[in-house]
Every structure is written in structure tokens, then in C-alpha cells.
């Protein structure tokens, strides 16, 4: 996809791979993750897709639209049973519902059972057979799709940077990279559990997680990040989301400023999309009396 050079100095050059431009509604890494999941669902003659996600999930929105586009019925199992009375107020869930997705709201306790085979059987007894796409879309089909993010024109980059949620995107990037390239992941979540999740899919060791830029954890945001995202868009005309790409880009530029990268390093940053979540985040920011994302 399109790449845009927007930063150069004597220490490093930085290029963005605009995966967010792949599709207007199935954005960035979600497009990649769903490609082979959808293909497999068609091969097995599935008619129903079921997946899991939070209230502002990029994945929920993407599966809903992809299901409509490819002729599947869809069910989104959403974390938080209290949301059933609020779905019309949430831009993400309203979009999914308008795409035809049936939303099932469950307690956080039940949501933790999303990988439990017994709980999956309970869902099948309720809805019939379905093609299961896990939370965030990460499985072997998703990793295969994400292996297609890197192209032959990307071989000259020394560092490839990627935001990390469930680990599927970075695993695909690692598998497609060359030994001379270092893959840097910027997790949106706190904790070290992601390393083990990535090792389940990655077949190389040329990667590292940069864990200092999560801004408090998943879906956490601070005024300095909002300021950065708005300034970045005003300067480079590239929108960033507050959950993933905003934190990654903040981290990359901070690392450049602090001399992390060797002289003349060539850096590729992957824009994984997720921009649909901005509207929902702005609702939360307004309630807190904080500036919003432009």
C-alpha cells in the first residue's frame, strides 16, 4: 500500500505504510486478519460468523461489515452486559448493528471464558453451528494474512514498527521479515503475557516489544497523547487512533529523539487502521472534560 515519508533527520528516516487505506470499513490489519478467515469460512460452507470484542472493538466493526459484504450472518459477543441498554449511544456497536450483526452482551466473568470449549458449545446450542473468529481475529488464518503486509519494496528497511493488541499482526510481520530486519512491537496493553502469545505464531526471533508507551494500558489515554495525535494530523495529514497507532507513533518519535536507533536507520511504521474508534473515544473524553481527537 501507499507509503509516505514524513520525517527525516541525520539519525533516521521514517516511512509510514498506510494499511489504513486498504478498505473504508474493514480497516488495516483487520482486512488482513479476516482475508483467510473469510476464505476458510466459505470453504466450510459456514453461514454464520461469531466473534468476541469490547464495546469499541475495531474487530467487531470489521467482522460485521465483512459478514454483510460476503453474505454471512454475524454475531458479536460483547464484553459487558450493562451495555445492552447503551448500544444506541456507542458508534461502534451501532455500526455493527446497522451492518446486520446480532449483539450478545455478556458479563465480564463470562467473557473470560471466550476460549473455553465448554462455553463455545453453550453458544452453539444457542445459535447453531458457526465459524468462530477469536477476539481480535488472531489465529493461524489471521497471521497468514498479516504475512502479506510486507512487500518486496520493504526489504531495505532496518526496523519495522507495529502496534500490538492480540499479537497476530506482529506475528505475521515477523514471519515475513528478513533476518537483517528488527521488528519492534508497541503493545497497547500492560503486562508481559503478549510475548508468549506472539511466540505461538512467530517463526523468527528478530523482534522486541517496547513496553513504555501504553499510557496506562488498553484504552487508556492521557492529554499528552491527545495533543500528539492532533498535532500529528495537522502536520502530516495522517490520522492516528488513540488505542494503537497513536501510541506507536508517539513511541517511535520519542525513541528517535532519545537516540535509540543507530545512525542512518531506515524505519517503517505500519499504520494498522482502527480509526473508527475515535468517535467512541471522544464520547469518553467529553464526559471527562478532556480535549477531543480532531
Average pLDDT, the chain: 92
Model confidence band, residue 27 (pLDDT cutoffs 50, 70, 90): confident
Q: Is the dihedral of CA 121, 127, 128, 134 positive or negative?
A: negative
pLDDT at 101: 97
Model confidence band, residue 90 (pLDDT cutoffs 50, 70, 90): confident
Secondary structure of 267-280 as H, E, C letters? EEEEECCCCCHHHH
- Strands of the 48-53 sheet, one edge to the other: 102-106, 73-79, 48-53, 131-133
Model confidence band, residue 87 (pLDDT cutoffs 50, 70, 90): low
Amino acid at each position: 500500500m501507499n507509503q509516505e515519508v514524513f520525517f527525516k533527520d541525520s539519525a533516521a528516516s521514517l516511512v509510514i505504510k498506510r494499511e489504513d487505506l486498504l478498505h473504508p470499513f474493514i480497516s488495516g490489519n483487520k482486512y488482513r486478519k479476516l482475508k483467510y478467515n473469510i476464505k476458510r469460512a466459505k470453504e466450510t460452507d459456514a453461514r454464520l460468523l461469531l466473534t468476541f470484542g469490547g464495546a469499541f472493538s475495531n474487530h467487531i466493526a470489521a467482522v460485521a461489515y465483512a459478514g454483510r459484504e460476503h453474505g454471512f450472518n454475524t454475531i458479536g459477543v460483547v464484553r459487558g452486559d450493562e451495555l445492552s441498554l447503551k448500544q444506541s449511544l456507542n458508534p461502534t456497536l451501532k455500526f455493527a448493528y446497522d451492518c446486520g450483526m446480532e449483539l450478545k452482551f455478556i458479563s465480564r466473568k463470562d467473557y473470560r471464558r471466550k476460549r473455553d470449549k465448554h462455553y463455545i458449545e453453550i453458544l452453539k446450542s444457542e445459535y447453531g453451528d458457526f465459524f468462530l473468529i477469536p477476539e481480535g481475529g488472531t489465529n493461524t488464518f489471521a497471521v497468514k494474512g498479516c504475512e502479506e503486509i510486507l512487500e518486496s519494496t520493504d526489504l531495505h528497511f532496518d526496523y519495522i514498527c507495529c502496534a500490538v493488541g492480540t499479537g497476530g499482526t506482529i506475528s505475521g510481520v515477523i514471519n515475513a521479515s528478513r533476518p537483517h530486519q528488527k521488528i519492534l512491537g508497541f503493545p497497547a496493553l500492560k503486562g508481559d503475557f503478549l510475548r508468549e502469545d506472539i511466540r505461538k505464531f512467530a517463526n523468527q526471533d528478530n523482534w522486541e516489544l517496547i513496553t513504555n508507551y501504553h499510557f496506562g494500558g488498553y484504552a487508556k489515554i492521557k492529554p499528552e497523547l491527545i495533543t500528539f495525535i492532533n498535532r500529528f494530523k495537522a502536520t502530516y495529514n495522517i490520522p492516528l487512533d488513540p488505542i494503537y497507532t497513536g501510541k506507536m507513533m508517539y513511541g517511535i518519535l520519542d525513541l528517535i529523539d532519545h537516540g535509540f536507533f543507530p545512525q542512518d536507520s531506515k524505519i517503517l511504521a505500519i499504520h494498522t487502521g482502527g480509526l473508527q474508534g475515535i468517535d467512541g473515544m471522544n464520547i469518553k473524553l467529553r464526559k471527562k472534560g478532556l480535549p477531543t481527537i480532531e
